[in-house]
Structure 1
């Protein structure tokens, strides 16, 4: 069986010193997870000269898209002034990810977006972000913590449970939810951990399922679901 093509959006080097995040290691783990789920991962980079001009046509060639984690989103994108903790902003990466996100929604491509990807999704649709999440005693966003999954949501259908463990390392999060999105996962302190698009074929999680895809059934299920949706798209063409 021919594997469906899944575009994994490339990352420019950026440092996020307050987190234990490596874009290179994350990309490797994501490609391994997509392959293990039966997909053909293809890392897609945008040309620095103009990352958006040909993006809809380039994305349309794929059966599915995965938008990974990365550095902070420029607060100016949602009308805010940077706080001291905001770091690692890459203008080119913001342009690329926003362009990819809008193309994915316009084309209704199967997509899974992770961490920064979920934040970009919210900003692309008109939402805002919390620039620095303050840790509490009930939820730790730099480690493994429980996430409550909304019953009846697409995420619930994918993972088959109302409470799951998630491997997170993020200090930004959704603040004002964008129109068109629905919350389907929450941390104990109320931080939004997963959303889904009300119409497009898209699921987004704030955590990093690539960390534990080989050992966690719920994390592996997210990649299996993406590849399954991509395969159906491929077969319907």
Structure 2
């Protein structure tokens, strides 16, 4: 066996030392990497905790927001319900008021086409109306004399210019409903052109009745028994809802 020389041993030791230094450098590098990994893990954990806290905070805010939205929706629904209820009550009040106004006009008839004098007085208007009932509606004089008329007056204002004078309609309020009916039932005696007569109703009821007239004529053209009572169309005895 050959014994190595001192120089060979030194060379070998130098190589070993060099390898050890390289290993030491690599170990230091690994330590740095390990430190960085640890820091990364800590940062990642911190970030995750922040994300978790932010998500929880966001979820809490969303829940509160949802609660507020639900509260607002419930509040709006309640307000809408109240508004609808108030609208229904308002419509009912309007209908009741219209009915009361109609009842106050129950004994009234409106006459058109009767001549008018300049500065005509109420007594003259009533006398002309009574003459009209005899001459145009064919009522007996004693029947007309017995009619109790509370008031007969022209509608609207009379022009002060004689050239613009028109025959304004007359509103007659009878003291008794039966007297009004005695007169009204003679409507067939009028031609509806120069002279006419009809019941008095509030404007809103008149508007409803006008909308019913085409259906009334259509029903009568088909030989149905049709008529309008107050603001309702009846065909063969049945009320017809046109809404």
Give the TM-score normalised by structure 2.
Answer: 0.23
Structure having the higher helix fraction is 2
Taking CA–CA contacts closer than 8 Å with sequence separation of 6 or more, which of the two structures ends up with the larger relative contact order? 1
Give the TM-score normalised by structure 1.
Answer: 0.24
Structure having the higher strand fraction is 1
Q: Which has the larger radius of gyration?
A: 2
